[in-house]
């Protein structure tokens, strides 16, 4: 017996079977039930989220032999033929392959004739944005004065490319990406119906990679069943998807709880051996910390269905709420800056070690008040520890001397300090455009290029000074001197880093074997300005 792909086998046949997209289903159902039908509908949204599926169901609702309604019978010949993709009055067109004006004219020539069998002649045009300008004009004429028996169902991933004249004649429905939990629930019910053994976390791994697309999720599920030989386990999914095995996440979470830097380094090396994707690992960690924060704030929240709930609960119980928030913030920054690091592995290591370094000392050791002060001391020491071997990190967190301004601003640590001040807007622009001329126990003298004088507005100065005072917990004199010298500022440093990243990725694309092969075989060229680092 031939195998039918799950995406095809489980394609919804009526509105009740559609997962998610409640807003669209409701609007279409009401329109059908109240017989208030428009002549052109546009379904927009990313790939694989059900645009053409909804359009086909709508076509069935219109042409069911029992009469147009939101609940087609599913058994009449019209319903069945639409399901089988061979109904004569449902004309499906893939605009990507029929972009020319002749194609559109040929298609629309027959619009005037009545439907052969059904109540309506339904034109379903997928990827409609691919039509040429002339084709749109041809289509527009029909949209302006459509015969009563014609309905247009247009679908596109890219509505911005449609002319306003076409957009304004359509009722538009924007389909949303499906939430992870909705995808998992559907996968679970399919696995039960197909009678295939599985581990629930494996379904979450698939849903995460599918990123809101049910079609992608079902294709991955097909692969998963073939790959796992009838028992879809979480570890098999990590192998198949190239994601990080859950046991490593458990080890890393435990290492954070135990403040075990050595274990973090061990895991990091092993993950590098497995060619793990450190970006997705940080994504997962951010997700777990989010869940941990919810578990602390709302322990019995019902909506928490994530795959790592147990891990998140454990983290939530063993860390304070402040620690969870701190770790979350550090993980977010680590993820944001992932590509500024020399390697993704070092990005992960620094992010996790920073969590340990900045974690306030435990309440038993210092008492509630002491921990706050200690936090700042540790913050400064954490800076120092960055240049030490990772194993030294924990030792460097003892008996630090009182905070001194000059410790931090000298030795090129001004950019890191800016990140920690929590300043934004004008104060952040000002700080980033300055370099440190000198610093003492009492204050800082900053240099600012003359041409940037305009950003040293009083409000920005005041906010920067206040932030420095709060950080060092003392009065801080802030002096800003204008200079005509060329100074190296954090802003310039950031620009340089971005330029280096850009030239690195351009070089990687240049040297890529596949790109080279396309060049030599097809005369392909890389479009200037089209190469961007991931995440931009």
Which residues bind to Zn ion, rule: CB under 5 A?
64, 72-73, 76, 79
Q: Nearest Cα to 315, choosing from 339, 288, 338?
A: 288
List, in order, residues 6 or more apart from 488 with CB less than 8 Å away: 435
Least distance to Zn ion, CB of residue 107, Å: 26
The alpha-helical segments, DSSP class H, found in 153-260 are 164-167, 180-194, 200-210, 214-228, 234-241, 246-258
Residue 117 vs 413, nearer CB to Zn ion: 117
Q: Least distance from C-beta 154 to Zn ion, angstroms? A: 24
CA atoms within 13 A on the CB side of 60: 26
CA–CA dist 480, 477 (Å, integer): 10
62 vs 436 by CB, closer to Zn ion: 62
| Nearest alpha carbon to residue 262 among 389, 380, 398, 383 | 389
CB of 147 to Zn ion, least distance (A): 23
CA 526 to chain centre: 26
Three-state secondary-structure class, residue 367: helix
Shortest separation between residue 335's beta carbon and Zn ion, angstroms: 50
Angle (nearest 5°) at CA 507 between 501 and 511: 145
Shortest distance in whole angstroms from residue 16 CB to Zn ion:
15
> Could you identify the residue written with the tokens 């977010």?
332
DSSP assignment, residue 535?
A: T
For residue 74, the minimal CB distance to Zn ion (Å) is 6
CB burial of residue 118 (10 Å; 0-12, 13-18, 19+): buried
Nearer to Zn ion, 61 or 131 (CB): 61
Beta bridge partners of 436: 446
| Nearer of residues 76 and 171 to Zn ion, judged by Cβ | 76
Token readout for 349 is 């290591």
- In the bound state with Zn ion, the residue whose beta carbon lies nearer, of 72 and 443, is 72
Q: Shortest gap between Cβ of 75 and Zn ion (angstroms)? A: 6
Give Cβ neighbours of residue 140 (< 8 Å, ≥ 6 apart).
163, 165, 166, 169
Residues in the chain, overall count: 536
User: Which CB, 82 or 220, lies closer to Zn ion?
Assistant: 82
Q: What sections of 276-393 are H helices per DSSP? A: 278-297, 309-318, 321-336, 344-358, 363-385
DSSP assignment of 494-531: HHHHHHHHHHHHHHHHHH-HHHHHHHHHH---PPTT--
C-beta of 68 vs 73, nearer to Zn ion: 73
Residues 6+ away with beta carbon under 8 Å from 144: 169
Indicate the pairing of strand 434-439 with strand 443-449.
antiparallel
Report the residue number, 79 or 138, with the smaller CB distance to Zn ion. 79
Least Cβ distance, residue 67 to Zn ion (angstroms): 9
Cβ proximity to Zn ion: between 57 and 256 the closer is 57
Q: Tell me which residue of 243, 240, 213, 215 sits closest to 225, measured CA to CA.
A: 240
Closer CB to Zn ion, residue 73 or residue 531? 73
Q: Shortest gap between Cβ of 71 and Zn ion (angstroms)?
A: 9
485 in helix, strand or coil? coil
Q: Exposed/middle/buried for 71, CB within 10 Å: 0-12, 13-18, 19+?
A: middle
CB of 79 to Zn ion, least distance (A): 3
User: Least distance to Zn ion from the beta carbon of 118, Å?
Assistant: 10
Q: Tell me how far, at minimum, the Cβ of 60 lies from Zn ion, in Å.
A: 7
List the structure tokens of 263. Answer: 């274990």
Of 124 and 267, CB closest to Zn ion: 124
Supply the minimum distance, in Å, between the C-beta of residue 72 and Zn ion: 5
Best CA proximity match to 51, nearest among 83, 24, 23: 24
Query: What residues have CB less than 8 Å from 290, skipping those under 6 apart?
Result: 312, 328
| DSSP 8-state symbol, 232 | E
Nearer to Zn ion by C-beta: 64 or 206? 64
Our CB check for Zn ion shows the closer of 60 and 169 to be 60
User: What tokens were used for 223?
Assistant: 């692969």
């Amino acid at each position: 017996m031939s195998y039918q792909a799950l995406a095809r086998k489980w394609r919804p046949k009526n509105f009740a079977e559609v997962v998610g997209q409640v807003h669209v289903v409701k609007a279409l159902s009401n329109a059908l039930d109240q017989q208030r039908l428009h002549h052109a509908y546009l379904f927009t949204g990313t790939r694989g989220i059900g645009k053409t599926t909804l359009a086909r169901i709508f076509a069935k609702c219109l042409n069911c032999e029992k009469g147009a309604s939101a609940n087609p019978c599913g058994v009449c010949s019209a319903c069945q033929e639409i399901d089988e993709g061979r109904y004569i009055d449902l004309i499906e067109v893939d605009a990507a392959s029929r972009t020319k004006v002749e194609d559109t004219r040929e298609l629309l020539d027959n619009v005037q004739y009545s439907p052969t069998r059904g109540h309506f002649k339904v034109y379903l045009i997928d990827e409609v944005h691919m039509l040429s300008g002339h084709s749109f004009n041809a289509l527009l004429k029909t949209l302006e004065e459509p015969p009563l028996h014609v309905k247009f169902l247009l679908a596109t991933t890219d509505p911005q490319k449609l002319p306003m004249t076409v957009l304004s004649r359509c009722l538009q429905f924007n389909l949303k990406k499906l939430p992870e939990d909705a995808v998992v629930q559907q996968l679970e019910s399919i696995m039960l119906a197909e009678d295939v053994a599985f581990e629930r976390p494996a379904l979450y791994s698939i849903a995460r990679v599918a990123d809101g697309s049910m079609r992608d999720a079902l294709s991955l599920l097909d692969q998963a069943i073939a790959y796992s030989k009838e028992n879809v386990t979480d570890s098999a999914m990590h192998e198949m998807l190239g994601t990080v095995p859950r046991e490593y996440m458990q080890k890393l979470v435990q290492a954070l709880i135990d403040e075990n830097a050595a274990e973090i380094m061990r895991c990091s090396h092993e993950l590098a051996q497995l060619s793990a994707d450190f970006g997705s690992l940080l994504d997962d960690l951010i997700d777990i910390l989010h869940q941990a924060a919810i578990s602390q704030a709302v322990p019995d929240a019902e909506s928490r269905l994530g795959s790592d709930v147990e891990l998140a609960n454990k983290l939530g119980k063993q860390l304070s709420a402040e620690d969870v928030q701190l770790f979350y913030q550090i993980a977010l920054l680590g993820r944001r800056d992932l590509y500024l690091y020399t390697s993704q592995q070092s990005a992960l290591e620094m992010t996790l070690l920073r969590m340990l370094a900045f974690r306030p000392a435990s309440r038993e050791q210092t008492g509630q008040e002491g921990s706050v002060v200690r936090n700042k001391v540790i913050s400064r020491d954490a800076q120092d520890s960055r240049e030490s071997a990772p194993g030294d990190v924990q030792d460097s967190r003892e008996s630090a001397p009182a905070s001194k301004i000059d410790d931090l601003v000298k030795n090129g640590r001004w950019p890191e300090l800016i990140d920690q001040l929590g300043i934004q807007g004008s104060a952040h622009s000002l700080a980033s455009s300055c370099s440190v001329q000198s610093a003492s126990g009492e204050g800082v003298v900053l240099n600012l290029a003359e041409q940037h004088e305009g950003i040293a507005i009083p409000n920005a100065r005041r906010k920067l000074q206040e932030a420095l005072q709060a950080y060092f917990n003392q009065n801080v004199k802030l002096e800003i001197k204008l200079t005509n010298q060329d100074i190296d500022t954090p802003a310039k440093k950031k620009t340089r880093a971005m330029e280096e990243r850009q030239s690195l990725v351009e070089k990687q694309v240049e040297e890529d074997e596949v790109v080279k092969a396309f060049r030599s075989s097809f005369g392909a060229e890389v479009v200037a300005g089209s190469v961007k680092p991931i995440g931009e």
